[in-house]
Structure 1
Amino acid sequence: MINNSDFPNYFIAGENASVLAQKNYVRYVKWDLILMCAGAMLTIYNYSYQETKQWIYILSGLILLIAFVLSLVIKTKKYEDVWYRGRALAESAKTLTWRFMTKSEYFETDLSEEEAERRFTERIKEIREEFRDINSSLKAADLRKDIVTSKMLTVRNSSLQDRKDFYLKNRIDNQIEWYTSKADSNKTRYENWFWAVICVQFLALLSIGFLIFKPASNYNFVGLFTTLSASFFSWLQLKKYQENKEAYNTAMSELNLIKSEAKYIDSEDAFAKFVLDSENAMSREHTLWLAQKRI
């Protein structure tokens, strides 16, 4: 069993910064969309009294002002960039850590413990420089943690069979399970939200039909349903359920194929290559995810 606290400081710092930025970004976008929908709701009924209309306009203006401020916060705080870059930092440090623990490429078995630690620290420094643009978002309390943890050394100093078993259980199986769960979850959410888009678009059509036959009506739901449709579609674009599902399915399938080769591992060199292939497969999934988010 391995926990987040068993990984190096820059993994923990990047992970925490990414999670916090993601929560803030999604929260602000969600409330921005909710406020836009609330503003549209106020326009449903055409009030006959001028004073009532004035209060509705004032309330609508306040709602739109808050939404405007939220949009400015999203733009200036750059939560999305920290979310992506923090995730990339964490994944880079995690991959490096697994290669260190399993004695894979650049941390081979013939190295002394001191030399392996020195190499690992140098690579962490390189990663730190690569992601120096998000240094201000990393917590000092996370950065003061160990670069090489006791768990990393314990796994590295274990036998080939123990390292192999540990890697298969805590990296390969764990990641396959995570990919499978995420792929199924994203598929379900994509279908639910897309059906929601279709439903509100249909309601907008019905509203237009109602106004055609009742042009004198004081009720107009068209603005509300079109705003809801645009908001739901924006949420789909934000979460990228369909793209994520495909990326997770691809990575899970590739990793499952690689796992089937584990039974042929009978030497340190074979295990080192196995780990390298596995980590490259997981890195490709993350690179694809990051590229999709940048589009």
Structure 2
Amino acid sequence: MTGSGPGLHDDGMPVVFRSSDRASTSGQRRYLGGTQWRLVLAVAAAVCGALGSRGAVVALVLVFVATVCVEIWLLTERPEEAWYDGRALAESTKTLAWRYAVGGAPFPGGLPLPEARERFHARLETLLREAPPVSLAPVGSTAVTEEMNALRALPFDERRRVYLEGRIGGQLAWYSRKATANVSRARTWRLLLIAVEGLGLTAAVLRLTGVYDFDLAGILAAVLGAGSAWFAVRQYETQGRAYTFAATELSVIQGRLAHTDEDTWAQEVADAEDAISREHTMWRASRGAG
């Protein structure tokens, strides 16, 4: 959930970030893939039930067996936990790295480097102790990276420029793109679901009037249910609103940071990172994650 930019790239983050990011990406892919299979199988079951032939009944049994297998896999593996918890750890690590690198609280620029490094390690170790095991792929060193130290050593004006372009500007562009994409997808899915509802109504009326005797309406009802379930899983409307709000808040913060002096910089960076973390907290809450 991040944008890229100059100054501090993903490969310049601590290993913990890359590890938890991989765990989250893998968990998301497996969870969405399992959910897709479950919904496709539900539609396939409706088709087999509507056909009613002996072969269709055998296929229906196989479909139900496959559905049970997918459900058991989702319950035992719980890939959504790796997705949510891995993303939480990755984003928490990223915000710590940016705070350290640009002199944001609790790592102000005037803090001696050894003390800042020690404070960073302590904060990161706390995150690791509190992180669920599913949020991590194998982890290597948790040390501060050379890129983070190089950015921290820059003069204030240069650090401010890099933070505004690489972090705030990158996040703002990312939120704006995501807001537009989610609003568009929500509208498309709404129209598709309405179209399926209309087809289902038409199919039911035609069967009622004796035009045909095939249970097409039942199949379309299954398609509608699967589509509605997928729409609920992706939460396009909720995310569209959340990203729009986050982009608006960050645009205000961007203007304020551009005129911040070195005396108030550390706290202003902390406030900006809190705003970014707040969006992610809302995202996790909407997913039902703790």
How would you bin the TM-score normalised by the shorter chain?
Answer: over 0.9
Deviation (angstroms), 1:182: 0.3
Which of 147, 159, 165 does residue 151 from structure 1 map onto? 147
Deviations 1:114-149 (A, max 9, x none): 111111001011000111x22x55222xx1145210
Deviation (angstroms), 1:266: 2.3
Which of 29, 33, 52 does residue 27 from structure 1 map onto? 33
Give the 4+ runs in structure 1 shifted more than 4 A.
none
Give the TM-score, by structure 2 length: 0.94
Deviation (angstroms), 1:271: 1.6
Deviations 1:189-216 (A, max 9, x none): 111111111111111111110111007x
State the match for 1:288 in structure 2: 282
State the match for 2:10 in structure 1: 4
Distance in 2, Cα, partners of 1:259 & 1:138? 32
Distance in 2, Cα, partners of 1:119 & 1:262? 24
Q: How does 1:172-187 map to 2 (within 5 A)?
A: 172-187=168-183
Say whether 1:58 aligns with 2:61: no
Q: SS of 2:37's equivalent?
A: helix
State the match for 1:261 in structure 2: 256
Distance in 1, Cα, partners of 2:195 & 2:83? 32
Give the TM-score, by structure 1 length: 0.92
Q: For structure 2, list consecutive stretches of 5 or more residues without a partner in the other structure.
A: 1-5
Deviation (angstroms), 1:4: 1.2
Q: How does 1:71-110 map to 2 (within 5 A)?
A: 71-110=71-110
Deviation (angstroms), 1:255: 0.4
Say whether 1:15 aligns with 2:15: no
Q: Which amino acid aligns with 1:247?
A: A
Q: Which amino acid aligns with 1:225?
A: L
State the match for 2:161 in structure 1: 165
Distance in 2, Cα, partners of 1:263 & 1:138? 36
Distance in 2, Cα, partners of 1:272 & 1:246? 30
Q: Which amino acid aligns with 1:38?
A: A
Deviation (angstroms), 1:218: 3.3
Q: Is the 8 A contact 1:45 1:218 kept in 2?
A: no
Q: Is the 8 A contact 1:194 1:233 kept in 2?
A: no
Deviation (angstroms), 1:56: 0.9
Deviations 1:196-241 (A, max 9, x none): 11111111111110111007x3311011100010100000110000
Q: For structure 1, list consecutive stretches of 5 or more residues without a partner in the other structure.
A: 47-52
Q: SS of 1:247's equivalent?
A: helix
State the match for 1:49 in structure 2: none
Q: Is the 8 A contact 2:50 2:214 kept in 1?
A: yes
